[in-house]
Amino acid sequence: MESISVTADSGESITISPENMGDMVAFMSRYACAIMEVETKFNVLNAQFNASKSYNPIDTIKTRLKTPESIVEKLRRRGLPLTTQAAEDNLTDVAGVRVICPFVEDIYLLADYLLMQDDVELLEKKDYIAKPKGNGYRSLHLIVQTPVFTPQGKTLVKVEIQLRTIAMEFWANLEHRLRYKKGLDPELLEDLGGELRECADICESLDQRMGGIRRKIEATTTLLDAADKEWQ
């Protein structure tokens, strides 16, 4: 087997020798498996809510495994050794799971039920819904650790989970495009940033109003259900 070269967007590259290749493959595979574990946990929660309440708190789940190129870039940026051990010890976003929910309440409900599970350990929580970022970004971020069973035994693997509503996802995707757009006129960049800030407020107010409507519908449904039962 020949050495392979991994080149980051910045142009910097590292060469992975055949001896280290197995280590790299095992490393990536552990994170891919941790993504599967966490994604399954959310799918199971969604199925259980569907069975007990005829309601799906999850609209979509997206997953992403960081590429070796961006792992190298992040390690270099932080001045860390370019090793899988350094990545394991210092990077929390090699495995990413994004859960998109219809309503804000669903986000906290899912986070609570996930963290109740005894094989999920919360390492860090950033609530950008309670405290949005200056640019308007909102989402709930959890860094968790969960076991992955390999032929060599059990390893604990970190996964970054982002929970957000459909409106937050819509906003974040557009803002992400702006953030990575190269060569934009600074004045236009500032204008668009300002517009996005306003859109973030609109998204927040939309999430609140939609949640309010849903609560009213549910209260009515419960009353109607009770009335239906009386006539059976």
Where on the chain is the footprint of ligand 0O2 (CB under 6 A)? 93, 126, 133, 135, 137, 141, 162, 172, 175-176
Least spacing, CB of residue 124 vs ligand 0O2, in Å: 8
Closer residue to ligand 0O2 (CB): 133 or 216:
133
Tokens 């998109």 identify what position? 100
Closer residue to ligand 0O2 (CB): 45 or 200:
200
Which residues neighbour 232 within 8 Å (Cβ) at sequence distance 6 or greater?
none
Instruction: Give, in degrees to the nearest 5, the angle at Cα 26 between 23 and 31.
Output: 130
Closer residue to ligand 0O2 (CB): 126 or 214:
126
Question: Which helix H or strand E contains 160, and what residues bound it?
Answer: strand 153-165
Instruction: Give, in degrees to the nearest 5, the angle at Cα 168 between 165 and 174.
Output: 140
Q: How far, in Å, CA of 230 to CA of 232, rounded?
A: 6
CB closest to ligand 0O2, residue no: 137
Closer residue to ligand 0O2 (CB): 135 or 145:
135
Least spacing, CB of residue 67 vs ligand 0O2, in Å: 11
Least spacing, CB of residue 102 vs ligand 0O2, in Å: 20
The Cα diameter of the chain in Å comes to: 76
Query: What is the β-pairing status of strands 121-127 and 140-150?
Result: antiparallel
Active site residues: 160
Least spacing, CB of residue 70 vs ligand 0O2, in Å: 8
Angle between helices 166-179 and 186-230 (to 10 degrees): 170
Query: Which token pair is 56?
Result: 């799906």
